[in-house]
Amino acid sequence: MPTPTLLIADPVQEALADGVPVVALESTIFTHGLPRPRNVETALRAEEIVRAGGAVPATIGVVRGWPVVGLTPIEIEELAYDNHVLKASIRDLAHLAVTKKNAGTTIASTAFLARAAGIDVFATGGLGGVHHGASETFDESADMVALSQIPIVLVSSGAKAVLDIRATLERFETYSVPVVGYRTSRYPGFYVADSGYDLSARVESAADVATMATAQKALGVRSAILVANPIPLEDQLDPQELDVVLQRAWAAAEEDGITGQASTPFLLDFIRMATAGRSLDANVALYENNVRLAVEIATELP
């Protein structure tokens, strides 16, 4: 068998060759982020939104060791229902060529593979960032380093709610990664529209984001542009309720001795149960909202 390398689906290759807008979509949202069968429904719905906006979706994942840009519906379902599916960041891609296993791609590896294919815009839900206590544990997401080195427009609704938002924003500043609010001067808080932290830059339209991307390219800046798109107010969780639930989640994690990579899924699952699934609804709503904005930006790029 040949060594797995990047596979770009025919519809994606044709769109890129013809100048048709393409939007990259990550796979960990349906391999690790959402329960079945809602994970597959959400993945396919995101692709429908992209097509309805006049662009071509490129859902990215690893199928039996092969990185694929433009998963088919059958491949999406295979990854979504694989009980042993892995989560792959950039460092994991080469080893998957050995194990030949399925994997959902993180923001870092999705951005990397998207740019390798020539895609300029990527939609996700929430970013990785600095974990609480990172000054002692050094627990920071590889997403941040990757985004400082990969020139792509990434639309998200802020860092995941369980992270240290202030430290995450400071780290992005250190890495010279522009974080720009979409019609807001406040950084979104994932499940809520306002995390409580100010942003120094905002834009009012998809065309503004396209102008930024064109300027960065002309200047030779090699970082991503992070478009912070708040969850619609009608879909957000109650901010006070979320604060209470987060405190309970952290206490439960400490009591159970949950640390490291296990922290985020434990905390998010605690929030889901504590809100009777409403956090799940919010997650899907903000993701679909980000996909819509990503399509608008992709169609504005030259």
Whole-angstrom distance between the N-terminal and C-terminal Cα of the chain?
40
Does the pLDDT value for residue 58 go beyond 90? yes
pLDDT digits (tens, 9 = 90+) for 97-109: 999 999 999 999 9
How high is the pLDDT of residue 270? Answer: 92
Nearest to 223 by CA among 153, 130, 122: 153
Give residues with Cβ within 8 angstroms of 72, minimum separation 6: 9
The token pair that represents 279 in the structure block: 């956090």
Spatial distance between the Cα atoms of 94 and 66, rounded to a whole number of angstroms = 10
Spatial distance between the Cα atoms of 287 and 172, rounded to a whole number of angstroms = 22
**Using omega within 30 degrees of 0 as the cis cutoff, is the peptide bond preceding 2 cis?**
no
Residue found by looking up tokens 């009777």 in the block: 276
In the DSSP assignment, the letter for residue 3 is P
pLDDT digits (tens, 9 = 90+) for 209-242: 999 999 999 999 999 999 999 999 999 999 999 9
Angle between helices 278-300 and 263-274 (to 10 degrees): 110
The token pair that represents 265 in the structure block: 């899924």
pLDDT digits (tens, 9 = 90+) for 104-142: 999 999 999 999 999 999 999 988 877 666 556 656 678
The model's confidence at residue 38, banded by pLDDT at 50, 70 and 90, is very high
CB neighbours (10 Å) of residue 105?
31
How high is the pLDDT of residue 85? Answer: 97
Does the pLDDT value for residue 268 go beyond 60? yes
Share of the chain above pLDDT 70, in %: 94
Domains of the chain, first to last: 7-300 (3.40.1790.10)
| Mean pLDDT of the region 276-285 | 95
Spatial distance between the Cα atoms of 217 and 12, rounded to a whole number of angstroms = 22
Does the pLDDT value for residue 74 go beyond 80? yes
How high is the pLDDT of residue 89? Answer: 94
In one letter, which amino acid is 183? R
Spatial distance between the Cα atoms of 294 and 228, rounded to a whole number of angstroms = 11
**pLDDT averaged over the chain?**
93
The token pair that represents 291 in the structure block: 């996909």
Question: Strands 103-105 and 153-156, how do they pair?
Answer: unpaired
Spatial distance between the Cα atoms of 290 and 278, rounded to a whole number of angstroms = 18
Give residues with Cβ within 8 angstroms of 86, minimum separation 6: 62, 92, 96, 101, 102, 103, 104
Which sequence positions are flagged as catalytic? 26, 160
Question: Strands 56-63 and 22-25, how do they pair?
Answer: parallel
